Amino acid sequence: MNLQYISDSNGVPTGVFIPMNDWNKLKEKYNDIETELNDIPEWHKAELDKRLADHRNNPDQVLDFDKAMDDIDKEL
């Protein structure tokens, strides 16, 4: 499989590109792969919409992930 990795500006991998030929082979081997990828429960979608709205309404309430992890490590 000829995968291409997508990285952010810091070189951290953030995604994978799968060529169409390889994707089609995966779909043949795993018949339900597209259904499983698109079968997100409605309550998951609703929760995500709620969280995104909360973030838009209160952007100052967001914690920096790395700082939060550092704070947790200090408390352990």
pLDDT at 27: 87
Closest C-alpha among 21, 19, 22, 17 to residue 6: 17
Who wins on pLDDT, 71 or 31? 71
pLDDT, tens digit, 9 for 90 and up, residues 1-10: 788 999 999 9
Instruction: Tell me the pLDDT tens digit for each residue of 27-70.
Output: 889 887 777 666 788 899 899 999 999 999 998 888 888 989 99
Look at residue 41 and give its three-state secondary structure.
coil
Q: Note the Cα 67 to chain centre separation in Å.
A: 20
- Residue 31 is predicted with a pLDDT of 82
pTM: 0.40
Question: Assign residue 43 a region: left if phi > 0, alpha if psi is -120 to 50, beta otherwise?
Answer: alpha
HSE-up of residue 49 (Cα within 13 Å, Cβ side): 6
Domain ranges of the chain: 1-39, 41-76
